[in-house]
Structure 1
Amino acid sequence: MTMAGAINAGMRAAMERDPKVLLMGEDIGALGGVFRVTDGLHKDFGDSRVMDTPLAESGIVGTAIGMAMRDYRSVIEIQFDGFIFPAYDQITTQLAKMHYRSRGAITLPIVIRVPFAGGIGAVEHHSESPEALFAHTAGLRLVSPATPQDAYDLIQQAIACPDPVMFFEPKARYWDKGEVDVSRVKAQLDQPDGEALATAEMAKARVAREGADVTLVAYGPTVRLALQAAELASAEGTEVEVIDLRSISPLDSDTVVASAKRTGRVIVVHEAPTSFGSGAELSARVTEQAFFHLHAPVLRVGGFHTPYPGAKFEHDYLPNLDRVLDAVDRVMAH
């Protein structure tokens, strides 16, 4: 499957499993969404479960909150990452806080799908990486798949989770293809405690490639880049371990720290600006928990502290092989 197809298939499976799972968003119905991720679902499930909405992100999230309080599970599509900010107030002051504010009496099992990051030559406001803004907000879970298999599994685990989940989809990877085992997550969710198992599994990082010299941490759109860099470094004698975080919040610090203690060198790669980003948080945790095992400072490779540039210059802004391999050389110099 492609990643887009895997997300589509995962949502279809969740809708077949639970009649209270609904989809909402701009142009997700007959059109199938801008990226066609919801293609065919309106035809098969109808207007009452796949709903086109007005161009009002705050209203979409607010409606989903009300529906969640009536036991529905809404999966919202924010058409592009840069369009999420009109809904920022609803997400951070209502969605993230209602469970805490009600002392656990209210749960809001809502998934917000956010096509994010760059690499597609889009215009302004269509290539943002705003994940750190939401990771800073307690009460939200943030995940990002890097493969079709993870996309298929994570979207179903996110829908099953009782907490609000922001599902960051790397839009430049929508057309990447990979094998997908559809039985794995089904077996998990069919168990009596499937919801709890799904929530726990969703928060775990995976070791995408083993190595002994450097730990390279990535998520979403930069995992493929990290694997490519690891292959090139291996040809020059440096074995790089690649960790796919999968979950941005909560962070699976244990997996990263365990790898850091083995390799003694850590690099974090993401498309978002490195200033005040998720890489900075991860760097702090590794330094706090594995300081005496490190041979070099934790390095970060990411976007710059500027607005996302026009399409003509985005490849100068985004992390690339040269920048990642330069970071590998620098940590190996210690």
Structure 2
Amino acid sequence: MSARELTYVKAFNEGLRQVMRADDDVFVAGEDVAGYGGVFHMFDGLLDEFGPRRVVDTPISESALVGMGVGAAVRGLRPVVDLMFMDFLGVCMDQVVNQAAKMKFMFGGELSVPLTITTASGAGLGAAAQHSQSLEAWLAHVPGLKVVMPATPYDAKGLTVAAVRDDNPVVIMLNKLLLGAKGPVPEETYAVPLGTAATVRPGSDVTVIALGRMVTEALAAAEELAADGIDAEVIDPRTVQPLDSETLVASVRRTNRVMVVHEAVTFSGIGAEIAAQIQDEAFDYLDAPVLRVGAPFSPVPFSPVLEKQYVPDRARIAAGCRRLIERRAA
């Protein structure tokens, strides 16, 4: 595959554009996705290429939007519906949890629901408590849903292609602070299989399992730690449902120490589930307890100073790794 650099948002756009070209049943709907291209311009240019029948602006009603998507999916189309901010899931949770996620089960597996929900997640833009959350733990708890969290432009394209092709409802969480990040992206259409983690940096002393934008912070922390002789392995789950536990556990068995870091609130976050699975599968290999790093139990602050303290960063990740190493040495 030939590769060139694209931004995260343009990689997403390209992946969606390619599956729309390949399949006339794929269409996009959401608030301001057509003429404006979406609040973060994720859908720029799609209206010009595919027209108003396949790129549709909708009223400001998330429950109606997702409900329409469920209906279209069960009738054989492949809708991609956009929720501007992940926080707006609260308005349409019945449609997501009780309709999209349950349909296949309630019809004995005879029904497919190829619905893709895209949404922007994460803090860092000063957007305050109702526009800055990371709610992957809500969704991963619901049988029937798949949840993906691309951390790179390559994955933003490949996971989008896989999600739209999937016959089950998938939520794509696009991190707002990653939208302008650049990286190599092949021009050809490709899919990143859902449920496959990536080892983005091999290491031998400690495993850092990082979700979404925290992969960037974990890699920066790993470089800082390397200067002190600590070799950190960084694993990106890429999807939290399904979760590639096999890759995570295999890494922990090699390094004997593990930290899980995510932008969401630490309490009842995905880190707790990962820690429990490591406890089940790799307890005898651990030289220190599993460490979780996440946000405090508080709404996201509006103040830029407080928000910076709220979101985990490379310094907190590096400090946690040092604590794990010191605890083993003791």
| Cα distance in 1 between the residues matched to 2:183 and 2:10 | 10
**Secondary structure at 1:150 match in 2:** helix
Q: 2:118 aligns with which of 101, 113, 116?
A: 113
Report the CA distance between 1:203 and its aligned residue. 1.0
**Partner residue, 2:146:** 141
Deviation at 1:184, TM superposition (A): 5.9
Could you tell me which amino acid in structure 1 is paired with residue 215 of structure 2? V
Mapped to 2, the partners of 1:294 and 1:332 lie a distance apart of: 12
Q: Is the 8 A contact 2:210 2:237 kept in 1?
A: yes
AA matched with 2:135: P
Alignment of 1:306 with 2:298, yes or no, is: yes
The 1-side partners of 2:172 and 2:204 are apart by 31
Residue 80 of structure 1 is matched in structure 2 by 85
Aligned to 2:3: none
The 8 Å contact of residues 226 and 232 in structure 2, kept in 1 or not, is answered as: yes
How far the C-alpha of 1:311 sits from its partner, in A, is 3.7
Pairwise CA RMSD: 1.0
Q: Deviations over 1:55-78 (max 9, x none)?
A: 000000100111112100001110
| Equivalent residue number for residue 267 of structure 1 | 259
Find the aligned partners of 2:109 and 2:176 in 1 and give their Cα distance.
Answer: 35
Q: Take 1:230 and 1:246, find their aligned partners in 2: how far apart are those partners?
A: 19
What is the percent sequence identity of the aligned residues? Answer: 41
Please tell me whether residue 280 in structure 1 is matched to residue 285 in structure 2: no
Q: State the alpha-carbon separation in 2 of the partners of residues 117 and 25 from structure 1.
A: 20
TM-score by length of 2: 0.96
Report the counterpart of residue 208 of structure 1 in structure 2. 200
Q: Among 93, 100, 104, which residue is 2:98 paired with?
A: 93
Question: Of the candidates 171, 175, 187, which is equivalent to residue 176 of structure 2?
Answer: 171
CA contact (8 A) 1:81 1:125 kept: no
> Equivalent residue of 1:178, what SS?
strand
CA apart distance, 1:43: 1.2
Matched residue, 1:6: 11
| Secondary structure of the corresponding residue to residue 43 of structure 1 | helix
Q: Which residue of the partner structure matches residue 318 of structure 2? A: 325
Q: Secondary structure at the match of 1:179?
A: strand
* Amino acid paired to 2:176: K
Over residues 234-283 of structure 1, what are the superposed CA-to-partner deviations in whole Å (9 max), with x where a residue is unaligned? Answer: 11000000001101111100000000000000000000011011000000
Measure, in 1, the Cα distance between the counterparts of 2:199 and 2:225.
17
Give distance in 1, aligned partners of 2:232 and 2:125.
28
> Secondary structure at 1:153's aligned position in 2?
helix
Task: Find 1:240's aligned residue among 224, 232, 237.
Answer: 232
Q: Deviations over 1:264-305 (max 9, x none)?
A: 000000000110110000000001100000100000100111
- What residue identity is the alignment partner of 2:254? R
More strand by share: 2
Q: Does 1:230 align with 2:222?
A: yes
- Aligned position for 2:63: 58
> Which residue identity does 1:126 align to in structure 2?
H
Q: Separation in 2 of the partners of 1:260 and 1:311? A: 37
2:259·2:320 contact (CA, 8 Å) conserved in 1?
A: yes
Secondary structure, counterpart of 2:318 in structure 1? helix
Match of 1:223, SS? helix
Alpha-carbon distance in structure 2 between the residues aligned to 1:270 and 1:124: 17
- The separation in 2 between residues aligned to 1:159 and 1:266, in whole angstroms, is 33
Aligned to 1:38: 43
Deviation string, structure 1 residues 159-205 (Cα, Å, up to 9, x no partner): 001111010001110000111013361xx6xxxxxxxxx6xx22100
Distance 1:227 1:326 in 2: 14
* Distance (whole Å) between structure 2 residues aligned to residue 28 and residue 44 of structure 1: 13
Query: Are the counterparts in 2 of residues 141 and 165 from structure 1 also a CA contact under 8 Å?
Result: yes
Which consecutive segments of 4 or more residues in structure 1 shift more than 4 A? none
**Contact map agreement 1:65 1:108 (CA 8 A) in 2:** yes
Tell me the amino acid that sits aligned with residue 28 of structure 1.
Answer: V
Q: CA–CA distance in 2 between the matches of 1:8 and 1:143? A: 16
User: Hey, what's the Cα distance between the residues in 2 that align with 1:311 and 1:244?
Assistant: 29
Whether 2:247 is the aligned partner of 1:255: answer yes
TM-superposed deviation, 1:121: 1.9
